[in-house]
Amino acid sequence: MTMLPEADALLVVRTGFSDPDAWQAVRAALGVTGEESFVEEFQDEVAVVDDATHADLTPDQLLGLLPSGYTDPILVVVDSAALESAEMPVLVVDLVEERGRAFRVIPAELPDIHSNLSIANMDFFEFADNADADGVFRGFR
């Protein structure tokens, strides 16, 4: 396994390699077209890490691979569970408040989470605690 790259962008790390078509569908749902993209919904850069050495790594293992200068409040993980579900719920890992705490989110809600956490408008727990019973955040109801 290799260290995650230095990036002044939201890192989206692929750990699920079971279905290449599903991976492309998740990328499209997130609005990510290249390895480094400006995604309008995020109003920021997104850096995709698509490296098979990260296959099946846990969030805790990925935290150990973050570069010391990474300043984004979250890490996004596209694991097998995200690839196997029609909703494509990616895993969002907190890097600030409760480092390592995670919940799943449907791609359409990720930009709002990222922007609110980036400007400290909301806290991680406000999203995590409002995930549905299955652990997936689908927006505030």
- The 10 Å CB-count burial string (b at 16+, else e) for 44-75 is bebbbbeeeebeebebeebeebbeeeeebbbb
Domain presence at residue 32 = yes
What pLDDT score was predicted for residue 33? 64
What's the CA dihedral at 49, 122, 63, 34 to 10 degrees?
Answer: 0
Domain presence at residue 1 = no
Predicted confidence (pLDDT) per residue in 19-73, tens digit: 999 999 999 888 876 555 445 555 457 889 999 999 999 999 999 999 998 999 9
Structure tokens at 93: 């890992």
* CATH number of the domain to which 97 belongs: 3.40.50.800
How many domains is the chain partitioned into structurally? 1
Domain presence at residue 2 = no
**Domain with 84 in it:** 10-137
Predicted confidence (pLDDT) per residue in 87-108, tens digit: 999 999 999 999 999 999 999 9
Domain presence at residue 21 = yes
Domain presence at residue 107 = yes
